[in-house]
Amino acid sequence: MRIRRALLFMPGDDRRKIEKGAALGVDSIIMDLEDGVALNRKPEARATTAAALREVDFGRAEKLVRVNPFSIHLWKEDMGETVAARPDGYVLPKVESAHEIRMVDSYLAAAETRYGWPVGSIRLLAIIETARGVANLRDIAESASRLDALIFGAEDLAGDIGATRTPEGWEVFYARSAVVIHARAAGLQAVDSPFVDLNDLAGLSAETRRALMMGYTGKLAIHPRQVETIQAVFTPDAEQIARAKRLLEAHAAHQAAGKGVFELDGKMVDMPMVRAAENVLARARAAGLDVDG
């Protein structure tokens, strides 16, 4: 599964912004046909997005398209106008049931067969941002093999349940935790909600670190200036890598000597700490860092 640390939204009807996003070195670009586009510009956004998929050099960035939700019945038009341009995947907003994922899965399987592409090659990411979506997390997470990630949508969820958004986020904490638990239980990535204050990079960094500590593997970005901060947080630094390697080397040595739990730097080391160190190195490798040389 490819690395998705920062996933940057760009309006699907703005070719210039899509091209700007493609040049940033971001892990994933989401060309938005939903909230970022006015209702009377949806047809233009589909055409612009399809052309960008065919013509823009995205480099290593993943090419994703966010379609409109099932509730307004535009998702088939969105996919019908863009699938031939072969995006890497689709982002599905306001997912509330496994049935929705399976419908899209069947639609894409038919398209892949029609164009001679491997079935399952177009991936899916589902945004959980309603009370019903949270309630159905287990079924959603296990709905289709092409589903790669669950994305948490805090702002829409707060509106759906009548909560007041606060900087601390306790009003959505249960749902934020539940998305991680169900994603990881199903072997999926978990992507955190966007940080809406575009000028507070310190706050963005702090919230992203909290998401990382909760088990999230990435975070949505709503402005290019957020990308570097998000990707830096989800990329282990040299000190973290060295510490993880040292712990794993000590663990291997103690295992070879027939010892289980051991002490390192005044702390007892057991399997949860070993797995945490392995996760640090896995994130570093996924980010393209050489941790084995």
Show which residues are catalytic.
Answer: 270
Query: Do residues 53 and 86 lie in contact, with contact meaning Cβ atoms separated by under 8 Å?
Result: yes
Query: Do residues 111 and 104 lie in contact, with contact meaning Cβ atoms separated by under 8 Å?
Result: no
Nearest to residue 8, comparing CAs of 223, 287, 233, 206?
Answer: 223
Number of residues in the chain: 293
Query: Do residues 50 and 44 lie in contact, with contact meaning Cβ atoms separated by under 8 Å?
Result: no
Query: Do residues 67 and 33 lie in contact, with contact meaning Cβ atoms separated by under 8 Å?
Result: yes
Nearest to residue 51, comparing CAs of 99, 77, 86?
Answer: 86
Query: Do residues 270 and 264 lie in contact, with contact meaning Cβ atoms separated by under 8 Å?
Result: no
Nearest to residue 193, comparing CAs of 283, 93, 276?
Answer: 93
